[in-house]
A and B are shown apart, each in its own frame.
Chain A
Amino acid sequence: MRDFVVVGLSHRTAPVEVRERLAVAPDRLEQELREFASSGRFDEALLISTCNRVELYATSVDPVAAAHNAKEAFAGRLSEPVGDELLYQERGIDVIRHVFRVASSLDSLVVGEPQILGQVKEAFDAAKGAGTVGTLLGRCFTQAFATAKRVRHETGIAEGTVSVSSIACELAKKIFGNLEGRRTLLLGAGEMGESAARSLRQTGTQLHVVNRSDERAQRLAELCGGRAVPYERLSVELADADVVIASTASEKFILTPELMKGVVRTRRHRPLFIIDIAVPRDVDPRVANMDNVFVYDVDDLQQVAEENLSVRAREASRAEQIVEEEVEAFVSWRRSLELAPTIVALRKRFGQIAAEELERALPRLEGASSSDRAVLEAMGRSLVNKLLHQPMTQLKAGAGEPDGALLIDAVRRLFALSEEETAAEVASPEGSQDARVGQLAAAAATGSTGETK
């Protein structure tokens, strides 16, 4: 039975020290895949490598051995035995569910983050380039992309920003509209302040850096693409800035109401957005009451992040439902690719046509005796049998080949055999296929998506 398998590790199971050693650079993906494929254990292979996960997806006639192989390959790169607690593996229907969840960003470190879908698509393209994607993985990933799209459109999983820096940016946009050409003043050298300043810099604001130590200011300014300004010019800089990020290590308030009163007057009430990331705080709470001055401290931003995260968590359960629906759709497609039900459905379709045509022809034959009738019926049957003989032989032979699924899929499409029809046939198997099909149906019910081989 050809089946899906995935072996990998992610932020859930492995620390970054391990993940970074396994990561594959994008330009090496195709080569790695060819190497995997040449080992002969896999019919298809696809490698996803991001900073949060490294996973090998494959289909194989012998999934257990394939999983074992993949594990060994991963272990080989780590140059030390990988504990089972670091690597996970799934088989059958669980692989499908896993891909759909990964692509929909349900398995991401930050649920709902948008990058993962692009990364999965790149991995898919690389695998196509390496020629290691066939019918099964192809259909599986195409449907994973569709699932991700549905999740994005039908749930609010990607709504709201969840990092402090980007929340600061969004707030600034809600105050100033366009940030292009606005000025950010970074006051102090805290790490979070630096990352917020970077995010703002990316939206097109100019950046000025003020620090008690000019040297440190200089270094920070170079790092973030800004300009260092001497500390003595603080009040002038405050008057010119639109966004102030305060993250000094000072024990006392630096932006006091007395200082800010003069600043507000000089800046003629232009709005000022102050982000106070310092602990202890740099901005006197009274400053927040001044007209056109908006102060957010680290708790405020953190709270927004948490609210947005909890919204995402709520939406995630709706997304899981969508994933389940899509998994079910995939399973029914997969089941339709089994040989036996396809043959049954094909016979039934042809037989039906013969019977219908007979029904139409008989009334037009005046005085046809029952023996005439029998002759015509026999002719219909034999016509069907003769017409189907060669396709059936080819189908049975071809189903055993690696691309068997493709052939069956083609037949289904050529003769418009629907998936439901097949499912119904599986429920009432017949002939020598009996045991096989029964076994398949049972496998499908318990989670495998195996294919007759």
Chain B
Amino acid sequence: MKAGLFIATALLYALACVLYLFLLTRGSDKAQRVPGTVFVAALGAHLAFLLLEAPAPGELPLADIAQVLSVSSFGIGIAFLLASYRFDVTILGAFVAPLSLMLFLASGLGSSYAPVPPRVQSAMLTLHIAANVVGLIAFALAFAAGVGYVVQEGLLRRRQLGGVFQRLPSLDVLDTMGLRAVLVGFPLLTFGMITGTFWLLQAGGSEFYVSQALGLVAWAIFAGVIVLRVAAGWRGRKAALGTMMGFVFTLLVLAGYALRAAGGNA
């Protein structure tokens, strides 16, 4: 049952990816709503899967890295749906759906991840994880908007004003969306880092050097993007590239955790 649901969810995500990309590159007046519908179906299947996984009713499945990845993937999808109502950026599904699929697949390797031992569990840890997951979701949207911006600006500069250019949102919308998402994600990331440090001290551990360092780099990049945007009026391509880089580092943090967990060394 669980395995079947996992495969169904993954297949739906993959189908949504293909359909979104097809909509972006080929376009179609008739099938405009199809990718979104498939994506919603994937989210539905994913929700069912999460409910099956939930340790107890009402409890968030954030106990191990696999669950964190799965919940992040789901959250990105939901946040994207909300954002596309606000900004009319449905077409960015072409960049969001692959992210969701990737994180979901990564969570599936979870059987090999060791769970966090009960002795290190605490409220602080839950706060740390929850804040970082929501932050990650915000950065994922900022990343998608950034990719959209870089692609769109490239097309504008190269005078390729065909289908893809017509279907992507305007530069202004992409830039604004990127800025807002980073502004939402950054305080959460900061909070996550602080709680994480406290928890580490509390648990008396001194591990996770790599992940922590990567986390710091990501934090510094986002801080830089925000400062430059606000103080120096940075906009557009540079800001988008900075945002994308920051997101890659937050993904690396997760990858660091996942690798450690896979090594059974949580």
Partners in one complex: yes
Q: Is B80 close to A, CB under 8 A?
A: no
The answer, yes or no, to whether B236 is at the interface (CB within 8 Å) is yes
CB distance from A150 to the nearest CB of B (A): 14
CA distance A153 to B233 in the complex (A): 44
A304 touches B170 (CB 8 A): no
Give the docked Cα–Cα distance between A300 and B232 (Å).
Answer: 32
Contact of B172 (CB < 8 Å), options: A175, A269, A291, A296 = A175
User: Nearest residue in A to B152 (C-beta to C-beta)?
Assistant: A174
Residues of A within 8 A of B152 (CB): 174
Q: Does B22 contact A (CB under 8 A)?
A: no
Complex Cα spacing A108 to B152, Å: 33
* Binding-face segment, B123-131, B155-163, B204-212: B155-163
Q: List, in ascending order, chain A residues with CB within 8 A of B234's CB.
A: 269
Q: Report whether B233 and A176 are in contact in the complex, using a CB–CB cutoff of 8 Å.
A: no
Q: Which residues of B contact A (CB under 8 A)?
A: 29, 152, 156-157, 159, 161, 165, 169-173, 232-238
- Tell which of B157, B161, B169, B232 touches A304, judged by Cβ atoms closer than 8 Å: B161
Check if B159 sits within 8 Å of A175, measured CB to CB: no
A318 sits at the interface (CB 8 A): no
Which of chain A's residues have a CB closer than 8 A to the CB of B173?
A: 177
A175–B235 CB distance below 8 A: no
Question: Is there an interface contact between B159 and A271, defined as CB atoms closer than 8 Å?
Answer: no
- CB-CB under 8 A from A268, the residues of chain B are 232-233
Whether B161 and A270, one on each chain, are in contact in the complex, defined by CB atoms closer than 8 angstroms, is: no
Question: Which secondary structure dominates where chain B touches chain A?
Answer: helix
Nearest CB to that of A289 among chain B residues?
B157
Q: Which single residue of chain A is at the shortest CB-CB distance from B165?
A: A174
Q: Tell me whether B233 and A291 are in contact (CB under 8 A).
A: no
Chain A-chain B contacts (Cβ-Cβ < 8 Å), number: 49
Whether A174 and B171, one on each chain, are in contact in the complex, defined by CB atoms closer than 8 angstroms, is yes
Given A174-B156, A300-B159, A304-B159, the answer on whether A271 and B238 have CB atoms closer than 8 Å is no
Whether A177 touches B170, Cβ cut-off 8 Å, given contacts A303-B159, A304-B161, is yes
Q: Which residues of B contact A288 (CB under 8 A)?
A: 157
Contact A176 B170 (CB under 8 A): yes
CB pair A271 B170 closer than 8 Å: no
Complex interface: chain B residues within 8 A of A173 (CB): 170
The 8 A CB mask of A342-381 against B (1 = contact, 0 = none) is 0000000000000000000000000000000000000000
> Is the C-beta of A294 less than 8 angstroms from some C-beta in chain B?
yes
Question: Any chain B CB within 8 A of the CB of A203?
Answer: no
A397 to B144, CA, bound (A): 74
Q: Which residues of B contact A385 (CB under 8 A)?
A: none
Q: Does A171 contact B (CB under 8 A)?
A: yes
Extra A-B contacts (17), CB below 8 Å, given A176-B172, A270-B235, A296-B159: A171-B156, A174-B152, A174-B156, A174-B170, A175-B170, A178-B172, A268-B232, A269-B236, A270-B233, A271-B235, A271-B236, A291-B238, A294-B156, A300-B159, A303-B159, A304-B159, A304-B161
| A292 interface contact, C-beta 8 A | yes
Give, as a whole number of angstroms, the nearest-CB distance from B24 to chain A.
15
List B contacts of A271 (CB < 8 A).
171-172, 235-236
**Smallest Cβ-Cβ distance to B157: which chain A residue:** A294
CB pairs A–B below 8 angstroms (19 shown): A171-B156, A171-B161, A175-B156, A176-B172, A177-B169, A177-B173, A268-B232, A268-B233, A269-B232, A269-B233, A269-B234, A270-B233, A271-B171, A271-B172, A288-B157, A291-B238, A294-B156, A294-B157, A304-B159
Q: Please give me the 10 A-B residue pairs with the lowest Cβ-Cβ distance, nearest first.
A: A268-B233, A177-B172, A177-B170, A269-B235, A292-B236, A269-B233, A177-B173, A175-B171, A176-B172, A174-B170
Q: Are B237 and A291 in contact (CB under 8 A)?
A: yes
Residues of chain A with a CB closer than 8 A to B170's CB = 173-177
Q: How far is the CB of B116 from chain A (nearest CB, A)?
A: 45
Smallest CB separation, B87 vs chain A (Å): 10
Bound Cα distance A271, B238 (Å): 12
Check B171 against A291 for contact (C-beta < 8 Å). no
The residue among A271, A288, A292 with the most chain B CB atoms within 10 A of its own CB is: A292
A291 — which chain B residues lie within 8 A by C-beta? 236-238
Residues of A within 8 A of B159 (CB): 296, 300, 303-304
Q: How far is the CA of A307 from the CA of B112 in the complex (A)?
A: 55
Q: Nearest A residue to B170 by beta-carbon distance?
A: A177
- Complex Cα distance A153/B234, Å? 43
- Distance between Cα atoms of A163 and B235 in the complex (Å): 31
Chain A proximity of B159: nearest CB distance (Å)? 6
In the assembled complex, the CB of A333 is this many whole angstroms from the nearest CB of chain B, namely 28
A239 shortest CB reach to chain B, Å = 12
- B30 CB to closest chain A CB (Å) equals 9
Question: Is A292 within 8 A of B161, CB to CB?
Answer: no
Q: Which of A391-445 contact B (CB under 8 A)?
A: none
Rounded to whole angstroms, the CA-CA distance of A294 and B161 in the bound complex is 13
On chain B, the residues within 8 Å of A174 by CB distance are 152, 156, 165, 170-171
Identify the closest chain B residue to A264 (Cβ): B233
In the bound complex, CA of A364 to CA of B205 (Å): 101
Residues of B within 8 A of A304 (CB): 159, 161
CA distance A175 to B232 in the complex (A): 21
In whole angstroms, what is the CA distance A270 to B237 when docked?
12
The residue in chain A whose Cβ has the minimal distance to the Cβ of B87 is A177
Q: In the assembled complex, which residues on chain B have CB atoms less than 8 Å from the CB atom of A300? A: 159
Interface residues of A in 294-315 (CB under 8 A from B): 294, 296, 300, 303-304
User: Once the chains are docked, how many angstroms separate the CA of A292 from the CA of B234?
Assistant: 10
Shortest A37–chain B CB gap in Å is 42
Chain A residues whose CB sits within 8 angstroms of the CB of B233 once the complex forms: 268-270
A:257-295 near B, CB below 8 Å: 268-271, 288, 291-292, 294
Residues of A within 8 Å of B172, CB to CB, are 175-178, 271
What's the minimum C-beta distance from A268 to chain B, rounded to whole angstroms? 3
Taken together as a complex, chains A and B put the C-alpha atoms of A270 and B175 apart, in Å, by: 11
- Taken together as a complex, chains A and B put the C-alpha atoms of A288 and B172 apart, in Å, by 19
Chain A positions within 8 Å of B171 at CB level: 174-177, 271
1/0 per residue, CB under 8 A from B, across A131-172: the answer is: 000000000000000000000010000000000000000010
